[in-house]
Chain A
Amino acid sequence: MGDAPLLRVDDLQLHYQTRQGVVHAVDGIDFELKRNEALVVLGESGCGKSSLAKALMRVLPRNVHHQGGRVHLGDTELTALSDERFRREVQWSRMALVMQASMNALNPVVKVGEQVAEPLRVLRRWPRRQALARAAEVFALVGISTDFMTRYPFELSGGMRQRAVLAMALVAEPELVILDEPTSALDVLTQASIMNALKRVKRELGTSFILITHDVATSSELADRVALMYAGQLVEVSDAERFFSDPAHPYSQMLMASVPKLRQRSRPQAIPGQPPSLFEPPAGCRFAARCPHRFAACSRDPRAIRLAERHRVRCWLHDDTQAGGGA
């Protein structure tokens, strides 16, 4: 079945225990991702989007308090795999993660090329020569000259290192690559050329992406689909076309209005108020306190309302049984 989703996430939850209490970082998230599709998870800092990446890739800190939900990659239920099997059969080979600071996580005393070839040698047991040859192909794909393969990480600029990390994630041709703020520490031009590299990879290798970012403009560079996250939940999941032109959720609308745009003269508008605490998220709609369209129904948790095929919004305004009553 060509239409079966590559990744299906049902009611994913991740809570941390801290000294101040339990943080509901990921609080019931569902989404689907098709093959060769790029989903952008958009959200402000502290909304739980990095925890989502960690939960998917099982790079969890020690203070996990509660973990729940199911994740399917193809026919495999990832959440049912043991850590050992996940590491052997999924990590790198089917699913890879590039984190924001990972360009600083390269081993400083091993040549970059060797590091990029490493997943092939460990997972596939490829001989060194063959692995390096494959690494060279990926280097070209992400836009680094293969001359850099024999350099050490400190000899590379930040942008080059970030590309090398990307190459390492891609070398075993995983079906899905999760990118957590891959460009936010980089300059505009570097950022643009890395986004170019990602577009090329997506086209040529058919890889699927989950791009986690707070930067609305950057997110539009890769997105087929957008999932907007707020206070541990997805408030809107839709196609990029729809999201960037006509978002449905009040938070999506306000977020789009707050982005300064280079080519438009409209003045960006701030969103008043602050996101709620993730220690004790409010009952009902979590955005209600900042929402200009708040009405009586908002004190109850809005269910995910299906507006169209593959377009869900967590807002009572779009529920026909409620919308008449307030706003």
Chain B
Amino acid sequence: MIGARWREHWEELRRYPSALVGMAIIALLVGLSLYTVIAIPYSQALEKWRGGEPWQLHPVNAAPVWLDRLTGGREARTLIASSEDAEVEEVPFEGGRRLRIPLEVDYDYAGFPSELNLFLHAEGHPQRPFARLAWQTPDGREIALGGHRIGREDRISLSQDRALERRLGGLVPHVGLLADPEIEGEPQVLPGRYRLLLDAVVFDDTAGIDAELVLYGRVHGIAGTDHQRRDLSLALMWGTPVALAFGLLAAVGTTVTTLVIAAVGVWYRGWVDAVIQRLTEVNMILPLLPILVMVGTLYSTSIWLMLGVVVVLGIFSAGIKMYRAMLLPIREAPYIEAARAYGAGNLRIVMRYMIPRILPVLIPTFVTLIPTFVFLEASLAVLGLGDPVLPTWGKVLNDAQSQSALYNGYYYWVVSPAVLLMLTGLGFAMLGFALDRIFNPRLRSL
């Protein structure tokens, strides 16, 4: 029954290119949200965003891959050589074995890696194995990297080895080990096959050693990584459903409550209206952001608490004045009088006859309201009052700011969440303005 009217509006909407672009953007964001929520379950996302272990094979502060493609360079990706793929030589001896593990990587990037780590796992050994490490370059040089006793979980940070750095002529190891010795001045990569030879002595007949050599890249994934090696794409993707949900819930929450209260005030008039008006006026001079900062600082920065505060403070917002102005003439409409004459109660008149009358006019306002709440949430996060556990766009910006991302040249860290925020704003605004033209015929030019 209602369908015909909405189909009419839809037909009309299709004639506004801006509406189509806006809807496409919104559809994209919604699609991304759905994909994210299905592909990366909530608990898993929170778990990962906490940082640490899951990210140890990721580089620190790597730029997005597409940035490297764009600049045409051949920056290093992360390379991993694992003992699982290596041909391990075993030589048994009295009371143990000698293991010879070659970890090989083919390196042909133009840039150096950002870091060099060796992860060692040795489980089930009665006595800690001993290993001697040697670095073999494609041009046949061999650089001894010293000996280590291997613990159960061991990480040898070659990049941090000061002695090695000195032996390499002052070059940090992840540069020095891969540099072409023939070239003077600025070090250049010597492409080819590198081998880390791990000569270990184990004191057991069966237990082995797992080794993983990681040459961390300088670019990673579609969004890069942050200072905690976390993949930014996680936060950018999960930020989408969080932002949309926050924006939508806050917009629905404030619009619905405000509308109902305004309608009640208009219908009952007298002291009810007066109280609502005075509350609104007081509320209008209360600054929202400082209150949110206060709540966040003193109580909790949970996004749901913030949502609650935003909605509660939004109830008596300036919107009430606007809705009141729209509802006042409707109160006097003959069909309302007719409804009273056939005995409709106050509640029915407010909810069924007054509010539905202005709903179409409110749809555009409502649509343009959503991004303002998305921005609010992001602003809070930038101020350090973001949700402590949820990955959001605002959090990414906040981290970027605290790590002086722009000063350090990590502009992708700032740009990508900012672009997403702007897209959100743009999408809803374009749709909202088109809807405004359809539902508010006064604006329409023939």
Decide if A19 is an interface residue (CB 8 Å cutoff): yes
What's the nearest-Cβ distance from chain A to residue B10, in Å? 15
Within 406-446 of B, Cβ neighbours of A (below 8 Å) are at 445-446
B-contact 0/1 string along A49-73, CB 8 Å cutoff? 0000000000001110000000000
What's the nearest-Cβ distance from chain A to residue B275, in Å? 33
Nearest residue (CB) in A for B446 is A63
List, in ascending order, chain B residues with CB within 8 A of A61's CB: 446
What's the nearest-Cβ distance from chain A to residue B189, in Å? 67
CA distance A63 to B445 in the complex (A): 9
Question: Interface residues of A, CB < 8 Å — how many?
Answer: 6
B-contact 0/1 string along A125-145, CB 8 Å cutoff? 000000000000000000000
List, in ascending order, chain A residues with CB within 8 A of B446's CB: 17-19, 61-63
List, in ascending order, chain B residues with CB within 8 A of A19's CB: 446
B-contact 0/1 string along A185-228, CB 8 Å cutoff? 00000000000000000000000000000000000000000000
Within 178-216 of B, Cβ neighbours of A (below 8 Å) are at none
What's the nearest-Cβ distance from chain A to residue B440, in Å? 15
List, in ascending order, chain A residues with CB within 8 A of B445's CB: 62
Nearest residue (CB) in B for A62 is B446
Task: Count how many pairs of residues, one from A and one from B, have CB atoms less than 8 Å apart in the complex.
Answer: 7
Query: Could you tell me the dominant secondary structure of chain A's interface residues?
Result: loop
Within 4-51 of A, Cβ neighbours of B (below 8 Å) are at 17-19
CA distance A17 to B446 in the complex (A): 8
CA distance A63 to B446 in the complex (A): 6
Query: Could you tell me the dominant secondary structure of chain B's interface residues?
Result: loop
CA distance A19 to B445 in the complex (A): 10
CA distance A139 to B445 in the complex (A): 40
CA distance A122 to B318 in the complex (A): 46
CA distance A294 to B445 in the complex (A): 42
Within 56-115 of A, Cβ neighbours of B (below 8 Å) are at 61-63
What's the nearest-Cβ distance from chain A to residue B30, in Å? 30
CA distance A17 to B445 in the complex (A): 12
Nearest residue (CB) in B for A63 is B446
Nearest residue (CB) in B for A16 is B446
CA distance A63 to B444 in the complex (A): 12
CA distance A11 to B446 in the complex (A): 26
A-contact 0/1 string along B87-114, CB 8 Å cutoff? 0000000000000000000000000000
CA distance A55 to B445 in the complex (A): 21
What's the nearest-Cβ distance from chain A to residue B267, in Å? 29
What's the nearest-Cβ distance from chain B to residue A288, in Å? 31
Residue of A17, A18, A19, A63 with most chain B CB atoms under a 10 A cut-off: A19
Nearest residue (CB) in A for B445 is A62
What's the nearest-Cβ distance from chain B to residue A228, in Å? 30
CA distance A18 to B445 in the complex (A): 10
CA distance A203 to B445 in the complex (A): 45
What's the nearest-Cβ distance from chain B to residue A315, in Å? 36
What's the nearest-Cβ distance from chain A to residue B340, in Å? 26
CA distance A78 to B338 in the complex (A): 50
Nearest residue (CB) in A for B444 is A19
What's the nearest-Cβ distance from chain B to residue A23, in Å? 12
CA distance A19 to B446 in the complex (A): 7
Nearest residue (CB) in B for A18 is B446
CA distance A62 to B446 in the complex (A): 8
B-contact 0/1 string along A241-258, CB 8 Å cutoff? 000000000000000000
What's the nearest-Cβ distance from chain B to residue A294, in Å? 34
CA distance A270 to B379 in the complex (A): 68
List, in ascending order, chain B residues with CB within 8 A of A17's CB: 446
Nearest residue (CB) in B for A17 is B446
List, in ascending order, chain B residues with CB within 8 A of A63's CB: 446
CA distance A48 to B446 in the complex (A): 19
List, in ascending order, chain B residues with CB within 8 A of A18's CB: 446
What's the nearest-Cβ distance from chain A to residue B439, in Å? 14
What's the nearest-Cβ distance from chain B to residue A241, in Å? 42
What's the nearest-Cβ distance from chain A to residue B441, in Å? 10
CA distance A287 to B294 in the complex (A): 75
Nearest residue (CB) in A for B12 is A19
Within 59-109 of B, Cβ neighbours of A (below 8 Å) are at none
What's the nearest-Cβ distance from chain A to residue B154, in Å? 76
CA distance A56 to B446 in the complex (A): 22
Within 253-300 of A, Cβ neighbours of B (below 8 Å) are at none
CA distance A119 to B396 in the complex (A): 69
CA distance A18 to B441 in the complex (A): 13
CA distance A127 to B445 in the complex (A): 41
CA distance A23 to B56 in the complex (A): 73
What's the nearest-Cβ distance from chain B to residue A270, in Å? 24
What's the nearest-Cβ distance from chain B to residue A79, in Å? 24
List, in ascending order, chain B residues with CB within 8 A of A62's CB: 445-446
What's the nearest-Cβ distance from chain B to residue A25, in Å? 14
What's the nearest-Cβ distance from chain A to residue B94, in Å? 97
CA distance A19 to B9 in the complex (A): 13
What's the nearest-Cβ distance from chain B to residue A64, in Å? 10
What's the nearest-Cβ distance from chain B to residue A118, in Å? 29
CA distance A19 to B438 in the complex (A): 12
- 7 A-B pairs within 8 Å (CB atoms) are namely A17-B446, A18-B446, A19-B446, A61-B446, A62-B445, A62-B446, A63-B446
7 nearest A-B pairs in the assembled complex, by CB-CB distance: A63-B446, A62-B446, A18-B446, A17-B446, A19-B446, A62-B445, A61-B446
